[in-house]
Amino acid sequence: MKLVVGISKSGAERYGKMFAQLTDESWLFGVIVAAVFLVITLCLSYSIVYYLPLYQPTSESVIAIMATLRPLMFVFPVITAGLTFAAGFRAVKSYLNTKATL
């Protein structure tokens, strides 16, 4: 039995199109989404920089899991930072398009 976590490519495309349509209709939505992603990025970065070095597991199984996950933990803030940039860029683009049509 194979367990797959995440969304499919078609699901990601569908959600991307929904986000694009919502930001085309309201640039404020894009600003809110960008702000949420920024907070997530800051929280992840803070926890990795300050709390991860303090955590010293004692059991061998946890040590093995942490040795595997530690490099991956630095990927998540990079992903959320990219999403923040994309959402902010889309919101600014939508705002400028709205302003140009007025």
Domain boundaries, the chain: 26-101
pLDDT in tens, 43-102: 888 887 777 767 777 788 777 777 777 777 778 888 888 888 888 888 888 888 888 876
pLDDT at 34 over 80: yes
- The pLDDT score that the predictor gives to residue 62 is 77
Higher pLDDT, 27 or 11: 27
Confidence (pLDDT) at 1: 44
18 to 11, 13, 54, 58: CA distances (angstroms): 11, 9, 41, 46
pTM for the model? 0.66
Q: pLDDT-derived band of residue 14, with 50, 70 and 90 as boundaries?
A: confident
Burial of 68 (0-12, 13-18, 19+ CB in 10 A): exposed
pLDDT of residue 5: 52
